[in-house]
Structure 1
């Protein structure tokens, strides 16, 4: 029971964090879309390829925001589905929650890598971007813990089914 309880708590925590990440990334993307583009001659080559320009960030900011928004929205959907699967607490539903967790962790790691690249390229003054970078890095760790807790819940449920005679 302990693994499923911890997984449930981590899924609720991740749900709240992914909602915050989605809001911050969505607002930042909206700001980028509304801000005027500088002349193309003043931009370097990657800006010509990727049309999203963030005046407060650097060249990695556009990619980071897009992947953070994708990871946030997928994280919201999979956290809600995972919470439902954890509440049913049988082996097939826990395997499903584990699969959702792996997919979300992969997308979060991609966004985290872009956050690290954005930090590496240079310092920016936007506190919203710093908060988003921090949240994505924290979420990559909490999502990893959640995957471990779900796996522990699967092992508990499988051993419980074997003892009850419901094994394969």
Structure 2
């Protein structure tokens, strides 16, 4: 009985996480596109600057490249884990739980890593509103993904 009561909670968290991961992917893709379009161009007579980074983003600070890279990784894995979670939600059996739990755990760890780079970016101050939005989404996703993990593990411990 209690297992069925947690199913709507897990479903709500899955839909919320999927929507937020898709938004993170959209903003991260915009940042990558802008970095490619406005990045450093190396020509025959141009020398690299002293502190050149191959992960250069013109709209942020030194942590932006790492933040966007890991946010994109977390977004892709998070969206895939949400799809695996939806499959688990449809069947809601102990056979589908391990794949959903494993994918959600990997997505959560990558989200925590991206959030760490987001916190470093916040500390360095120079960033635009889209990057601030992505930082906020990743901070919220860290909590909601952990809550989703707790819900599906609570169901597993009651079986």
Equivalent pairs counted in the alignment come to 151
Aligned to 1:31: 34
Report the Cα offset of residue 88 of structure 1. 0.5
Q: Distance in 2 between matches of 1:4 and 1:101?
A: 16
Residue-by-residue CA offset, 1:81-100 (whole Å, 9 max, x unaligned): 11111210111212221111
Report the Cα offset of residue 134 of structure 1. 0.6
**2:103 matches 1:118:** no
Instruction: Answer yes or no: is the 8 Å Cα contact 2:66–2:117 preserved in 1.
Output: yes
CA RMSD of aligned residues (A): 1.5
Q: Which runs of 4+ in 1 moved over 4 A?
A: none
Residues 3 and 155 (structure 1 numbering): CA distance in 2 closer, same or farther, change over 3 Å?
farther
Report the Cα offset of residue 7 of structure 1. 1.0
Structure 2, gaps ≥5 residues long: 42-46
Q: TM-score if structure 2 supplies the norm length? A: 0.89
| Residues 58-137 of structure 1: pairs in structure 2 closer than 5 A | 58-124=61-127, 126-137=128-139
| Equivalent position to 1:40, from 48, 51, 57 | 48
Q: Distance in 1 between matches of 2:102 and 2:80?
A: 13
